[in-house]
């Protein structure tokens, strides 16, 4: 009995596939986390190339490189790929790697479904990319796909709708997995109010995903049937209303943007206390604030629709509810600053990205508050002010938190330290070029430049040129990151179990890299 | 402390705005307001901007102070305090009251913007791919307003003029100091009628009529753009509004009515091939060339070529049908709604006799009129 057990202690690995099949068949949360993060990185560069192309056309007035309809395809796919291919999968990758380790669980609750959740994504992404090559090209209605325009577009739209269904299914399965894991598989002694904040933010995000991804599926299915099966949900001549789509879409769309930021809040809430060598200030408030943001996010959707012609009562309700979200968001920012206050800070790369996040995400939050005020929004809706706003919260917000998290946990995942000097270069280059690219876009929007246009009047020329230069710089700076990650994996210095002096949490009790299966016996949390 | 102050100054300089400055390349703020509503919006934005700047300086002053002073390299020891319910309540309640203070003037402006009662003039605005149509409901005149910047300028073959992409053939003309109500709708996809100087932006939704209002305070030319993605030429369908003194407006109105009456009278006349071709070429270049191209060769795979086309060179009935009734499920709309009998007759005649097409066919406006029943 003993001898048999000894030889089989980790003997099951002898039966695991290696090479490509290891990655195709894996049910291990660490492997699947790596798959998600790698996929996300590839999609980030594809979406980024589209952005560079867009900014190349916008470098000067006039049409130099692109036909207007192709330009619209690029803006649409840039949005879809960054949202559904880069940001969301990156956060799911973090969830997969970190949640089981942080709660002392051996793996996710549904390990095989986890594999499927990932492998749907490359198929969905392929559909999106192939859509460029069908007659009429890719969908060109903006990532928001409003009818009637999206009803009259070619087969690229159908491929996009199919891709969205697959992406949604992946997210829903992933969310179910995360909730079940967190609620059922925490180590003894880890009550909900003792969980790391990152785990809390993912728990709440998972509920949002389950609530709204089906709504998106409904919206695009109605689009599909309007296109091909004779329905007229969005066609007034048949008794429908194009604005119905906007309501359904944004009921998904607004919680979606919180889905894309709450895990980032969680990551920052792990990094700041570590590098301040101080506990997170106001843990309970932070949990309540995150939950409030999530609940409120269901009540604000029509602030994307202030110009649609809704009655004053509607405009007022959505103005007030949108302004209200500033309160719990502000509470979170104050709590992070209070965590830093009177700490003993050091500024390694994860901390730089976390601080950059707080600074720039808050700036994006302020422009969001400006946009919340309906009369002001009437002037700014569908202009570059909105483009600036969401790039601040999604790039300087979500993406910076992702970078911060990668730098923070890369030593744990790979067992090697990354090159700190290169990391700092990556941070400062990204920080500077990001602001050059996007700060001036606020002025463009205020001055009257609409969005989703390939050519513009001469008064917008100077800021567009500056923005394009910033964008090219930002894009090139990301190559530093790729180089750094590859260099770390191949030849980084060996990392200890706890490379960061101030870090707390179960993941730091494991070796770096952790064994393929960890916490097969749950730890006891006091 | 000095660093906090420095940051505050940077924060103040960044959103520097030039109220009332002439058009400069580095416009930093909303356009000069020309209506009372636009002025209210401008002031609201200024208020919120200052509130945000003050809070921003406060919060990040504290944060950067901590970054500079509370660092391990200076030997600063970490405190371990980690919660304070009183402080949490305070920094929840105070922002809430700041928001209420902002919401109050904002509410007044929302209600003022929505109040479209008692207009002096009502004008129907219809969005098309890719132009606007203006109908003066009380006066019975209407016309299309299309971008007039030549394609050569867009493709860099000619130097760009002063109002590049913001100029049209027939601007909307309104009198100053009158309450103008615009009734906005669309014919094909959602568009949005936006004039920044007026503070008016209203989505044009197919099958529904929404309204907005404005009152211009001084004569001038005001320019805006479509503000909802509507297809490939979304960036090429500007809005130009010319505000005139009342008597100049009345003169213009009388001229328009005369001109429209003249074209209606002519409709039963028999036109020559050359007359129709000349008129047709103009219609083609403004209405059809966006997709089918000036050289009639279209864009392969997306927009069919007309030069050498079977439909254009084949039976007249098929050609008339596709131009007048469109091809459902494609971007080819039914142009019988947008174009007059004369315009339809001339453009079809032009297509059948332009480029390599030499049918010699002539379509008279009266034939179009007969088909409309």
Ordered DSSP codes for A318-366: HHHHHHHHHHHHHHHHHHHHHHHTT--B---HHHHHHHHHHHHHHHHHH
Q: What is the token pair recorded at A326?
A: 């500033």
The reported pLDDT for the residue numbered B265 is: 62
Q: What is the 3-state secondary structure (H, E, C) of A472-496?
A: HHHHHHHHHHHHHHHHHHHHCEECC
Say yes or no for a CB contact (<8 Å) between A447 and B83. no
Say yes or no for a CB contact (<8 Å) between A241 and B25. no
Say yes or no for a CB contact (<8 Å) between B70 and A345. yes
Say yes or no for a CB contact (<8 Å) between A373 and B230. no
| B180: helix, strand or coil | strand
CA angle A27, A25, A85 (to 5 degrees): 80
- Measured between alpha carbons, how far is A321 from A298 in angstroms, rounded to an integer? 10
Q: Which of B367, B33, B322 is nearest to B197 (CA)?
A: B33
Give the count of beta carbons closer than 10 Å to the beta carbon of residue B50: 12
Q: What is the token pair recorded at A439?
A: 């700060």
The reported pLDDT for the residue numbered B272 is: 87
Q: Which of A324, A441, A315 is nearest to A386 (CA)?
A: A441
Q: Are A99 and A20 in contact (CB under 8 A)?
A: no
Task: Give yes or no for B159 touching A (CB within 8 A).
Answer: no
Low-confidence ranges of chain B (pLDDT < 50): 15-24
- Measured between alpha carbons, how far is A34 from A96 in angstroms, rounded to an integer? 9
Instruction: Find residues 328-367 of chain B whose CB sits inside 8 Å of chain A.
Output: 329-331
Q: Which residues of A touch B29 (CB under 8 A)?
A: 443, 446-447
> What is the distance between the terminal CA atoms of chain A, rounded to a whole angstrom?
35
- Cα of A136 to nearest chain B Cα, Å: 6
Strands B121-128 and B210-214: unpaired
Question: For B208, how many CA atoms within 13 A lie in the half-sphere containing its CB?
Answer: 23
Q: Which residues of A touch B165 (CB under 8 A)?
A: 61, 455-457
Say yes or no for a CB contact (<8 Å) between A236 and B114. no
- Measured between alpha carbons, how far is A512 from A526 in angstroms, rounded to an integer? 23
- Measured between alpha carbons, how far is A82 from A41 in angstroms, rounded to an integer? 10
DSSP letter for B220, please: E
pTM: 0.89
Q: Determine what percent of chain A is predicted with pLDDT higher than 70.
A: 97
Q: Are A375 and B40 in contact (CB under 8 A)?
A: yes
Q: Are B25 and A462 in contact (CB under 8 A)?
A: yes
Out of A331, A343, A374, closest to residue B92 by CB: A331
Residues A501-523 have pLDDT tens digits of: 999 999 999 999 999 999 999 99
Q: Are A493 and A420 in contact (CB under 8 A)?
A: no
* Chain B residue nearest residue A136, CA to CA: B302
Residues A52-99 have pLDDT tens digits of: 999 999 999 999 999 999 999 999 999 999 999 999 999 999 999 999
Ordered DSSP codes for A438-456: HHHHHHHHHHTPBSS-S--
Q: Which of A38, A121, A94 is nearest to A265 (CA)?
A: A94
Q: Which residues of B touch A311 (CB under 8 A)?
A: 114
**CA–CA distances in Å: residue A243 to residues A151, A223, A246, B228, B315:** 13, 12, 5, 13, 41
Question: Would you place residue A15 in the very low, low, confident or very high pLDDT band (cuts 50, 70, 90)?
Answer: low
State ipTM: 0.92
Q: Are B250 and B266 in contact (CB under 8 A)?
A: no
Work out the burial of residue A5: count CB atoms within 10 Å of its CB; fewer than 13 is exposed, 13-18 middle, 19 or more buried.
Answer: exposed
Q: Which residues of A touch B164 (CB under 8 A)?
A: 61, 457-458
- Measured between alpha carbons, how far is A60 from A181 in angstroms, rounded to an integer? 52
- Measured between alpha carbons, how far is B238 from B165 in angstroms, rounded to an integer? 7
Residues B63-77 have pLDDT tens digits of: 999 999 999 999 999
Say yes or no for a CB contact (<8 Å) between B114 and A312. yes
Out of A241, A373, A451, closest to residue B44 by CB: A373
Residue A487 region by backbone torsions, left for phi larger than 0, else alpha for psi between -120 and 50, else beta:
alpha
Task: Give yes or no for B187 touching A (CB within 8 A).
Answer: no
DSSP letter for B271, please: P
b/e map A213-226, b = 16+ CB within 10 Å: bebbbbbbebbbeb
Say yes or no for a CB contact (<8 Å) between B201 and A63. no
Question: Would you place residue A376 in the very low, low, confident or very high pLDDT band (cuts 50, 70, 90)?
Answer: very high
Q: Above 70 in pLDDT, residue A2?
A: no
- Measured between alpha carbons, how far is A74 from A140 in angstroms, rounded to an integer? 8
Out of A242, A276, A315, closest to residue B205 by CB: A242
| A140: helix, strand or coil | coil
Helix axes A197-228, A88-103, angle to 10 degrees: 140
- Measured between alpha carbons, how far is B63 from A244 in angstroms, rounded to an integer? 44
Position of tokens 């880890």?
Answer: A190
Q: Above 80 in pLDDT, residue A14?
A: no
Say yes or no for a CB contact (<8 Å) between B227 and A340. no
Out of A335, A338, A454, closest to residue B235 by CB: A454
Q: Which residues of A touch B292 (CB under 8 A)?
A: none
Q: Which residues of A touch B92 (CB under 8 A)?
A: 327-328, 331
Say yes or no for a CB contact (<8 Å) between A243 and B228. no
Active site residues of A: 78, 107, 143, 170-171, 254, 256, 258, 269, 303-304, 329, 332, 451
Q: Above 90 in pLDDT, residue A355?
A: yes
Task: Give yes or no for B109 touching A (CB within 8 A).
Answer: yes
What average pLDDT is seen over chain A? 95
The residues, ordered by sequence, that sit 6+ positions from A436 with a Cβ below 8 Å of its Cβ are A466, A467, A469, A470, A473, A474
The pair phi, psi for residue B303, each rounded to 5°, is -120, 120
The reported pLDDT for the residue numbered B25 is: 54
Q: Above 70 in pLDDT, residue A155?
A: yes
Determine the average pLDDT of the residues in A190-211: 97
* Chain A residue nearest residue B331, CA to CA: A152
Say yes or no for a CB contact (<8 Å) between B163 and A457. yes
Out of B63, B71, B301, closest to residue A135 by CB: B301
Strands B172-175 and B200-204: unpaired
The reported pLDDT for the residue numbered A243 is: 97
- Tell me the torsion sign for CA atoms A321, A326, A329, A335: negative
Say yes or no for a CB contact (<8 Å) between B208 and A236. yes
- Measured between alpha carbons, how far is A160 from A138 in angstroms, rounded to an integer? 8
Q: Are B331 and B231 in contact (CB under 8 A)?
A: yes
Q: Which residues of A touch B77 (CB under 8 A)?
A: 344
Q: Which residues of A touch B32 (CB under 8 A)?
A: none
Q: Residue B299 pairs with which residues in a beta bridge?
A: B303
Q: What is the token pair recorded at A235?
A: 């066609």
Out of A362, A373, A382, closest to residue B106 by CB: A373
Say yes or no for a CB contact (<8 Å) between B83 and A343. no
Q: Which residues of A touch B303 (CB under 8 A)?
A: none
The reported pLDDT for the residue numbered B17 is: 43
Q: What dihedral angle (degrees, nearest 10) is formed by the CA atoms of B153, B159, B162, B167?
A: -20
Position of tokens 């100049």?
Answer: B248
Out of B25, B30, B331, closest to residue A152 by CB: B331
Which of B110, B111, B182, B290 would best serve as a mutation to test chain A binding (most A beta carbons within 10 A)? B110
Q: Which of A136, A454, A144 is nearest to B234 (CA)?
A: A454
Say yes or no for a CB contact (<8 Å) between A355 and B235. no
Interface A–B counts its CB contacts (< 8 A) at 295
Name all contacts of B9-14 with Cβ < 8 Å and 24+ positions apart.
B11/B53, B11/B56, B11/B57, B11/B60, B12/B53, B12/B57, B14/A439
Q: Above 50 in pLDDT, residue A335?
A: yes
Out of A148, A344, A374, closest to residue B110 by CB: A374
Q: Are B231 and B189 in contact (CB under 8 A)?
A: yes
Q: Above 60 in pLDDT, residue A18?
A: yes
Q: Which residues of A touch B154 (CB under 8 A)?
A: 62-63, 455
Question: Would you place residue A8 in the very low, low, confident or very high pLDDT band (cuts 50, 70, 90)?
Answer: very low
Say yes or no for a CB contact (<8 Å) between A345 and B67. yes
Residues A447-499 have pLDDT tens digits of: 999 999 999 999 999 999 999 999 999 999 999 999 999 999 999 899 999 99
- Measured between alpha carbons, how far is A240 from A256 in angstroms, rounded to an integer? 26
Q: Which of B341, B346, B364, B337 is nearest to B279 (CA)?
A: B346
Q: What is the token pair recorded at A423?
A: 């990391």
> What is the distance between the terminal CA atoms of chain B, rounded to a whole angstrom?
81
């Amino acid at each position: 009995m003993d001898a048999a057990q000894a030889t089989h202690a980790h003997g099951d690995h002898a039966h695991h596939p290696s090479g490509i099949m290891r990655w195709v068949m894996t049910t291990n949360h660490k492997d699947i986390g790596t798959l998600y993060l790698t996929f996300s990185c590839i999609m980030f560069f594809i979406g980024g190339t589209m952005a560079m192309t867009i900014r190349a056309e916008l470098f000067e007035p006039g049409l130099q490189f692109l036909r207007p309809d192709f330009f619209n395809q690029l803006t649409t796919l840039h949005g879809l790929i960054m949202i559904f291919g880069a940001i969301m999968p990156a956060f799911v990758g973090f969830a997969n790697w970190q949640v089981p380790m942080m709660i002392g669980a051996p793996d996710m609750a549904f390990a095989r479904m986890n594999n499927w959740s990932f492998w749907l994504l490359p198929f969905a992404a392929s559909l999106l990319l192939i859509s460029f090559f069908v007659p009429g090209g890719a969908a060109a209605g903006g990532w928001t796909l409003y009818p009637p325009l999206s009803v009259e577009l070619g087969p690229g739209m159908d491929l996009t709708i199919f891709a969205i269904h697959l992406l949604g299914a992946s997210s829903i399965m992933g969310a179910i997995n995360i909730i079940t894991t967190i609620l059922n598989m925490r180590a003894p002694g880890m009550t909900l109010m003792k969980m790391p904040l990152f785990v809390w933010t993912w728990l709440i995000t998972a509920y949002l995903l389950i609530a709204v991804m089906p709504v998106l599926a409904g919206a695009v299915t109605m689009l599909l049937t309007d296109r091909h099966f004779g329905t007229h949900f969005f066609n007034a001549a048949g008794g429908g209303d194009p604005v119905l789509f906007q309501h359904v879409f944004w009921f998904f769309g607004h919680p979606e943007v919180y889905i894309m930021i709450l895990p980032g809040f969680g990551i920052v809430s792990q990094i700041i206390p570590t590098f301040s060598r101080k506990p997170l200030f106001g843990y309970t408030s932070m949990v309540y604030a995150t939950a409030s943001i999530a609940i409120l996010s269901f009540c604000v959707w029509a602030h994307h629709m202030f110009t649609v012609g809704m009655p004053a009562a509607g405009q007022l309700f959505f103005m007030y509810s949108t302004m209200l979200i500033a309160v719990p968001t502000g509470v979170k920012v104050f709590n992070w600053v209070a965590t830093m206050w009177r700490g003993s800070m050091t500024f390694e790369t994860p901390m730089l990205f976390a601080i950059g996040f707080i600074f720039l995400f808050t700036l994006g939050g302020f422009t969001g508050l400006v946009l919340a005020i309906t009369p002001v929004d009437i002037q700014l809706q569908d202009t570059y002010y909105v483009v600036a706003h969401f790039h601040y919260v999604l790039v300087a917000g979500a993406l910076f938190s992702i970078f911060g998290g990668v730098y923070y946990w890369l030593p744990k995942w790979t067992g090697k330290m990354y090159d700190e000097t290169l990391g700092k270069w990556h941070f400062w280059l990204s920080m500077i070029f990001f602001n050059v690219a996007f700060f001036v876009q606020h002025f463009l929007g205020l001055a009257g430049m609409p969005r989703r246009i390939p050519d513009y009047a001469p008064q917008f020329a100077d800021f567009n040129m500056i923005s394009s230069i910033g964008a090219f710089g930002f894009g090139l700076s990301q190559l530093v990151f790729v180089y750094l990650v590859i260099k770390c994996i191949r030849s980084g210095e060996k990392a200890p179990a706890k490379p960061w002096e101030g870090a707390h949490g179960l993941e730091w009790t494991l070796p770096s890299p952790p064994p393929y299966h960890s916490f097969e016996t749950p730890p006891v949390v006091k | 402390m000095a660093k906090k102050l420095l940051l505050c100054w940077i924060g103040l300089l960044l959103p520097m705005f030039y109220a009332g400055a002439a058009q400069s390349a580095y416009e930093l703020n909303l356009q000069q307001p020309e209506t009372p509503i636009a002025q209210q919006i401008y002031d609201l934005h200024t208020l919120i901007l200052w509130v945000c700047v003050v809070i921003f300086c406060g919060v990040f002053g504290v944060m950067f102070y901590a970054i500079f002073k509370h660092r391990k390299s200076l030997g600063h020891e970490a405190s371990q305090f980690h919660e304070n319910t009183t402080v949490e309540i305070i920094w929840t309640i105070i922002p809430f009251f700041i928001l209420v203070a902002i919401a109050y003037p904002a509410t007044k402006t929302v209600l003022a913007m929505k109040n479209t009662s008692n207009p002096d003039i009502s004008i129907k605005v219809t969005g098309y791919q890719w132009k606007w149509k203006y109908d003066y409901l009380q006066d019975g005149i209407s016309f299309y307003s299309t971008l007039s910047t030549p394609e050569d300028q867009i493709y860099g073959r000619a130097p760009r003029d002063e109002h590049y992409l913001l100029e049209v053939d027939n601007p909307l003309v309104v009198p100053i100091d009158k309450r103008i109500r615009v009734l906005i709708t669309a014919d094909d996809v959602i568009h949005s009628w936006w004039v920044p100087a007026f503070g008016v932006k209203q989505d044009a939704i197919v099958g529904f009529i929404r309204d907005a209002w404005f009152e211009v305070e001084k004569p001038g030319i005001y320019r805006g753009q479509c503000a909802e993605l509507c297809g490939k030429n979304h960036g090429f369908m500007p809005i130009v509004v010319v505000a005139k003194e009342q008597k100049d407006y009345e003169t213009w109105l009388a001229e328009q009515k005369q001109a429209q009456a003249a074209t209606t009278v002519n409709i039963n006349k028999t036109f020559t091939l050359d007359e129709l071709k000349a008129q047709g070429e103009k219609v083609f270049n403004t209405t059809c060339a966006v997709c089918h191209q000036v050289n009639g060769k279209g864009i392969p795979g997306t927009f069919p070529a007309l030069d050498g086309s079977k439909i254009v060179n084949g039976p007249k009935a098929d050609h008339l049908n596709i131009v007048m009734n469109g091809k459902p499920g494609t971007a080819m709309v039914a142009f019988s709604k947008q174009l007059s009998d004369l315009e339809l007759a001339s453009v079809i005649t032009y297509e059948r006799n332009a480029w390599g097409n030499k049918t010699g066919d002539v379509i008279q406006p009266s034939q179009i009129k007969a088909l409309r029943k």
